[in-house]
């Protein structure tokens, strides 16, 4: 028996918003520690890694490890039926071919349940190697989303260049070019608005705008985002989901042919 | 194609 209950359905709704542009289907691997999802996007350019820890749920029970293969567009349709303040419970029997979502209104006066067919998905076993990054940059997630959106108007790629003075985002194309430089903040009133850079050595890498924009769909999950970069390895864009886990996106840098 | 090579090499089967 698997059962996971969240007091607010909004977290799960936001998680789904954050992955459904990249993945059409995915396997949620559930065990004692919580729920894990790891999948390459449809075009195999990026990888999504989601962790929701058992202790972040209001109630969590997983008697046997279970993999729930879900069609994300169907799951999204079902979650749209939940009110933001509703409690959501995901349930599945061992070896089940369906999963059930139960939504309960705050006053318990409305209880809905939706059963969804599970899919048998080919499991792709990927390993994420421990990596030391040359630069990590922490900034406001809303600021990062804004930068990606603004620079997308200029070209298909964004160059991210990190030095100890700050980080610079650039794009160029037919209409001209754009540069946004953020200095490391000396002091701020709100911690989430700070720009914090940790740098071993400077790095400049180029990434596809389209993917960075897909990643920023996770903005509402966290006030801050962390970018980790090293030469010739995928960029990590990490959103920490308060009290329950994180979502990380890995994107290969563009390389000149 | 090179982008895909970078990502698959990085996440090679454990």
Interface predicted TM-score (ipTM): 0.80
SS3 A220: helix
Residue B7 contacts A where some CB pair is shorter than 8 Å: yes
H/E stretch holding A139: strand A135-140
Pick from A123, A234, A256 the residue to mutate for testing the B interface (most B CBs within 10 Å). Answer: A234
Task: Give the pLDDT of residue A188.
Answer: 75
User: A216 in helix, strand or coil?
Assistant: helix
CB contacts under 8 A, A 126-165 vs B, are: 126-129
Set of chain A residues whose Cβ sits within 8 Å of the Cβ of B7: 40, 44-47, 234, 250-252
Residue B14 pLDDT? 52
Question: Distance (Å, rounded) from C-alpha A237 to C-alpha A224?
Answer: 11
Contacts of B14 in chain A (CB under 8 A): 125-127
Asked if B13 and A127 come within 8 Å (Cβ–Cβ), the reply is yes
Cβ-Cβ contacts under 8 Å, A125 against chain B: 13-14
The tokens for A85 are 């303040």
Q: Per residue of chain A (257 residues), give pLDDT as tens.
A: 999 999 999 999 999 999 999 999 999 999 999 999 999 998 888 999 999 999 999 999 999 999 999 999 999 999 999 998 999 999 999 888 999 999 999 998 999 999 999 998 877 778 888 899 999 999 999 999 999 999 999 999 999 999 988 999 999 999 999 999 999 987 777 888 899 999 999 999 999 999 999 999 999 999 999 999 999 899 999 999 999 999 999 999 987 65
- The pLDDT assigned to A192 comes to 84
Q: Which residues of B touch A254 (CB under 8 A)?
A: 3
Decide if A44 and B7 are in contact by the 8 Å CB cutoff: yes
Tell me the C-alpha distance between A237 and A144, whole Å: 10
Give the span between the Cα atoms of A23 and A253, in whole angstroms.
20
Which chain A residues touch B12 with a CB distance below 8 Å? 127
Predicted pLDDT of residue A95: 83
Q: What's the pLDDT score for residue A90? A: 98
Burial of A114 (0-12, 13-18, 19+ CB in 10 A): middle
Of B2, B4, B12, the CB nearest to A44: B4
Interchain pair A233, B12: CB under 8 A:
no
Nearest to A39 by CA among A113, A102, A124, A118: A124
Q: What does the pLDDT read at residue B13?
A: 57
pLDDT band at B2 (very low <50, low <70, confident <90, very high): low
Planar angle of CA A84, A2, A121, nearest 5 degrees: 90
CA distance A153 to A52: 34
Q: Return the residue of B nearest to A256 by Cα.
A: B2
Residue of chain A whose Cα is closest to the Cα of B13: A126
């Amino acid at each position: 028996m698997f059962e996971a209950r969240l007091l607010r359905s909004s977290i799960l709704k936001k998680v789904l918003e954050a992955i459904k542009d990249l993945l059409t289907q995915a396997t949620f691997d559930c065990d004692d520690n919580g729920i894990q999802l790891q999948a390459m996007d449809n075009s195999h350019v990026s990888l999504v890694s989601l962790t929701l820890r058992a202790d972040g749920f209001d109630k969590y029970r997983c008697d046997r490890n279970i993999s729930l293969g879900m069609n994300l567009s169907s799951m999204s349709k079902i979650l749209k039926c939940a009110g933001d303040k509703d409690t959501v419970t995901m349930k599945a029997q061992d070896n089940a071919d369906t999963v059930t979502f139960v939504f309960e209104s705050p006053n318990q006066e409305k209880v809905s349940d939706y059963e969804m067919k599970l899919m048998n998905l080919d499991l792709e076993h990927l390993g994420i190697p421990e990596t030391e990054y040359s630069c990590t940059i922490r900034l406001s997630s809303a600021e990062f989303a804004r930068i990606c959106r603004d620079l997308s108007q200029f070209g298909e790629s964004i160059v991210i260049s990190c030095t100890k003075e700050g980080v610079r985002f650039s794009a160029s194309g037919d209409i001209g070019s754009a540069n946004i430089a953020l200095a490391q903040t000396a002091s701020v009133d709100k911690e989430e608005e700070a720009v914090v850079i940790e740098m071993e050595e400077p790095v400049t890498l180029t990434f596809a705008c389209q993917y960075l924009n897909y990643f920023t769909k996770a903005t509402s999950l966290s006030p801050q985002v962390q970018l980790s970069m090293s030469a010739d390895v995928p960029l990590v864009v990490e959103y920490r989901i308060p009290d329950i886990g994180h979502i990380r996106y890995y994107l290969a840098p563009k390389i000149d042919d | 194609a090179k982008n895909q090579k970078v990502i698959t090499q990085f996440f090679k089967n454990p």
